Amino acid sequence: MSDDLHYERDLTATETDIPGLVVFDLPVHGDNRGWFKENWQRAKQLPLGLPDFGPVQNNISFNATRGTTRGIHAEPWDKYISVATGAIFGAWVDLRKGPSFGAIHTQVIRPDQAIFVPRGVGNAFQTLEDATAYSYLVNAHWSADKLDQYSFVNLADPILAIEWPIPLDRAELSDKDRKHPMLADAKPVVPRTTLVLGANGQLGRALHAEYGDEAAYADRSVIDMSSDTLASDYDWSNVGVIINASAYTNVDGAESPEGRRTAWKVNVDAVRQLVEIARDNHATLVNVSSDYVFDGTEQLHDESEALSPLGVYGQTKAAADQIVTTLPSHYTIRTSWVIGDGNNFVRTMWSLAKKGVHPSVVDDQYGRLTFTDTLASAIRHLIDIKAPFGTYNVSNTGPTQSWADVAKVLFAAAGADAEDVTPITTAAYFEGKTGIAPRPTHSTLCVNRIESTGFSIPTAAEALGEYVSQVWGDR
């Protein structure tokens, strides 16, 4: 047994000065025959901070002589590096665009240690012993189509000033590694993209306002959510977060034969494809759900309530919720009564008030408005803080109201008489009409879970006042 190894110690993880670069001390069990170690153990290492990075390939670089030196290369995938025999001096340089660009970490790695190297961090090593076997897991296959996502920096860069144990003029290097650019000329690795689907919808516009040029946007002309081939319709390889703000939302239309098929195609089959796309590309999927997944018999809905949809639209959203749970890295954002930039209840009531129309508005459906700027901000908050994956309810806060209550507030704000709004039951409102979907009576969502992450939510009354001010000003 080698005297250089630490035997029978606990499995531990240590973060470095490079964000995401984590060193693992591995338990090594030895006897007179040699030693054994669990080189990569997903179940034990995930709780210690190893990302569930989904390796697809295991490579081994055998280095016959001491002083063999390779790098510094940053590829568009994550790596988990260890040594089977021998020892290396490793050097890692952050080549990702951002404040940590150029940060360095160096250390010796023997068989009792391993290191997780996130995408965009340059990797190099120099062997310290003959017959060193350098092993690494990667979560993507090499592709000539991805060469523009690679970055390199010179091993002898004077700014990095890496103290190689064996001077580079006496080390074994390839000509290509000797000619890599210096840090000042190295190409920063651009972070993976956040892609917003349904970019022209109410939520899509709010997400555009939230992210600006930090995200990419796709409307139907770019990605048709009714396609059977979403995986090949778009290059997803550099997408890190998919926000699905696209859906078939015609609640009554979904009850028709044609609408039913479209609703299942867009709300369920497309989501199924997105789950597989996210899984294959190690991306996070954010999918927007609805209060319609509940039958509305509970007055307040939390994230643990069993699904109980009434109509086709609700059934499709509930089915999508179940499919999304098969992807570990997901956020299901459940919301209700959405108001944003586009045709919606608030704009309709304001217009009727200004025209002097006296509408009948249902007063036996209860909930809270959700404004899309609040919804977009909540989505970004969860992603940015790396909140635990799962389902989060998001709506504006404050007292539960009926649609008629909201209409009266809007009529008064528009300078009309709130009494011009006539409350009416849902049954009376739809009397004589066919193809009408059932509505949940109670749609109020409990938002305790997202508030517990530190997200502050304005009341629906505050958000409505701001919305009215932005859209109509003093008119």
CA dihedral 134, 135, 137, 138 (to 10 degrees): 30
136 is catalytic: yes
Whether the CB-CB separation of 95 and 186 falls below 8 Å is answered with yes
Q: Which amino acid is at 320?
A: A
Q: For residue 433, what are its two tokens?
A: 């009409």
Distances in Å between the Cα of 361 and the Cα atoms of 99, 252, 358 are 54, 17, 10
Cβ-based burial of 133 (10 A; exposed 0-12, middle 13-18, buried ≥19): middle
Residue 167 makes CB contacts below 8 A (sequence gap 6+) with: none
Exactly one of 6, 7, 29, 73 is catalytic; name it.
73
312-324 and 257-264 are packed helices; what angle lies between their axes, rounded to 10 degrees?
Answer: 10
Question: How many Å separate Cα 354 from the centre of its chain?
Answer: 42
Q: For residue 62, what are its two tokens?
A: 């055998």
Exactly one of 80, 134, 136, 366 is catalytic; name it.
136
**Rounded CA gap, 9 and 25, in Å?**
8
Residue 224 makes CB contacts below 8 A (sequence gap 6+) with: 233
Catalytic residue positions, numbered: 73, 136
